[in-house]
Structure 1
Amino acid sequence: MDQICIYGVYHFFAFEICQQFLNEGYQVTGIPYPFQDDREELSLMVGRNANYAEWKETGESQVKDQVEKEGKTFLFFSHYDHQFLEEKHFEAIIQHLSLILDHRKIDQTIIFQPVEYTAIPISIESFRTFQEKCEAIIPNPIYIALPPLYGSRQPERDLFVQLYRKQTDDVKVPKSNFNEILSSEEAAAFIAKKIFPHFEHAILKSSEGFTGFIEKILEKDCEWSGDLTAWSRNELNNMKVMEVPAGANSEKKQKDWLINIREFHHHNTHHI
């Protein structure tokens, strides 16, 4: 059976990807960030599953014994999550990836990248440099472009969270792809059930616009701008467009998310 490796497994979208592949019965190896101290507590969120194992830095021979199995090995690598990290963590990730790739053969890397950066504050140029360094060392990268996501484990630094709680002022909000917002759970399920294992460069979008939902989130005047776009229009035009159908309970998920954010019952999954 194919092997699934998920880097930064206990963070927002990577965690959703992990859950969906486990639901489909795949064997998943979760790779926490090297600077994450609360691994044991966070690993409980995955639950007990015989198909899940956490990558251990136990030495080359032991690691190879764990992973030399039949099928291809896919590495899922979420730049969508990386935008919520601090710049000081980027170099640690590069070094950690090099160590992992020394010990494990990866057949295909799937990179999730936001269509527009949705974390604030973020240094765009530093982040792009980090992305280029990652691409230089990971094997056979395929890009999946993601519109803004929302979900139960939304990071505190996410632009939607900041705006809805009115915790930030004078922020430029990128407008071009916000009506294509997706539930993180539904996006991850679509990837695990409909795309895997035949990946190609693609952009995901909602099958129906969420203009009303965006208006609820942005309950104040904001300056709209395209300055935060992560991709050029030509790059996006050359990608295959894949529409993710809205689930039967999409409206309920939206309402639950708004209630969760409004009542401050929100859990910050990106505490380092």
Structure 2
Amino acid sequence: MEQAIVFAAQQFIGFELCKQLLNEGFEVIALEHEMMLDEQADDKWLEIGRNANLTYEMINNSLQLNHSSYICFIPLYDLFIQRNNEIVEDWHKSFTTLYQLIEPRVELIIFISPAQWRVNENTIYQEIKNEILQSTRKSHWIEFFLPTIYGPWQPNQFLFQQLINEQQYQNYIDDLEDAVYIEDAVRTILNNTGTELYGETVLIESGHTDMWWKCANYLNPTFQRKNQLESQKVEKISKKISVKENMSFEQALEKQKQHYFRK
């Protein structure tokens, strides 16, 4: 049985990673930082917490890691969502301490970053990645860049969730260029971890023009989009992959709405 370690396991991307990895038969060690827990954590874990192949721990606990190799999933996207330097810095310290212990057993590192970092990247996240890549004795890593990700459990830092709960704010973290349903995004990542992508930076796309705006307009036809400044595209991307959709964006947004009002 393949072994995976998922960091930020109760966050938006990390949680979906845990779900799909378990469905694919992985044994998953789900790691979370206590400062990143919120009121939704218990409800989320009811969905997968009884799976015998899941081990859930705090990142700074003493762990029993007995397997010879692991795939390590590091969703920096979830740290980006936090928008809290104190949390990110404390997570960084705990992660660095743990990673030094598990590094010899990590066969592949999967970084998952927001698409906004294609051009400009926050220094603390670059520091985290550089430390990992410099300390590892292997060159086996892939970085996936994701645009706006939506679906059940989307945090309120995103515009779509703000429109759904009718508490719209001007400050949201969305990538205005594209949007992908979370199940499609994570499935695409898990289907593209082969050796041919080692060392590559991969942008996950919806495959549709102006998908973010279509989603926002579907949720609120009166929403006025921001004027987006043209950026100089000095992209750190070597490949692009379009997702294979299991449902339309309208169906996916309805699923997000139903989940929110049910909770």
Report the TM-score range of the alignment, normalised by the length of the smaller protein.
0.7 to 0.9
- What corresponds to 1:128 in structure 2? 122
**Which SS does the other structure have where 2:67 is aligned?**
coil
CA distance, structure 2, for counterparts of residue 50 and residue 174 of structure 1 = 37
- What corresponds to 1:121 in structure 2? none
- What corresponds to 1:188 in structure 2? 186
Distance 1:108 1:44, change over 3 A: same
- For 2:184, the aligned partner's letter is E
CA distance, structure 1, for counterparts of residue 154 and residue 27 of structure 2 = 25
CA distance, structure 1, for counterparts of residue 172 and residue 151 of structure 2 = 22
- Gaps of at least 5 residues in structure 2 are 134-138
**Which SS does the other structure have where 2:51 is aligned?**
coil
Shift of 1:201: 1.7
- Gaps of at least 5 residues in structure 1 are 118-124, 268-272
CA distance, structure 2, for counterparts of residue 107 and residue 174 of structure 1 = 31
Deviations 1:174-231 (A, max 9, x none): 54x22xx111011112222x2134443211111334353232245322322248x7xx
Q: Which residue of the other structure, out of 83, 98, 122, is the alignment partner of 1:100?
A: 98
- What corresponds to 2:228 in structure 1? 225
**Which SS does the other structure have where 2:234 is aligned?**
helix
Identity over the aligned pairs, expressed in percent?
Answer: 20
CA distance, structure 2, for counterparts of residue 107 and residue 95 of structure 1 = 22
Distance 1:147 1:171, change over 3 A: closer
- What corresponds to 1:22 in structure 2? 22
CA distance, structure 2, for counterparts of residue 99 and residue 44 of structure 1 = 29
TM-score by length of 1: 0.76
Shift of 1:93: 1.0
Deviations 1:66-119 (A, max 9, x none): 32324x3121111221122122111101111112113213233211111138xx
**Which SS does the other structure have where 2:122 is aligned?**
helix
**Which SS does the other structure have where 1:195 is aligned?**
coil
Name the count of aligned residue pairs: 243
- For 1:222, the aligned partner's letter is R
- For 1:134, the aligned partner's letter is I
Shift of 1:41: 6.2
- For 1:214, the aligned partner's letter is A
Q: Which structure ranks higher in relative contact order (CA pairs < 8 Å, sequence separation ≥ 6)?
A: 1
**Which SS does the other structure have where 2:35 is aligned?**
coil
Instruction: Give runs of aligned pairs for residues 1-272 of structure 1, distance below 5 A.
Output: 1-36=1-36, 42-55=44-57, 57-59=60-62, 63=63, 66-70=64-68, 72-85=69-82, 86-105=84-103, 106-116=106-116, 128-139=122-133, 140=139, 141-163=141-163, 165-169=166-170, 175=176, 177-178=177-178, 181-192=179-190, 194-198=191-195, 199=197, 200-209=200-209, 210=211, 211-217=213-219, 219-226=222-229, 233-236=233-236, 238-248=237-247, 250-258=249-257, 265=261
CA distance, structure 1, for counterparts of residue 45 and residue 215 of structure 2 = 32
- What corresponds to 2:136 in structure 1? none
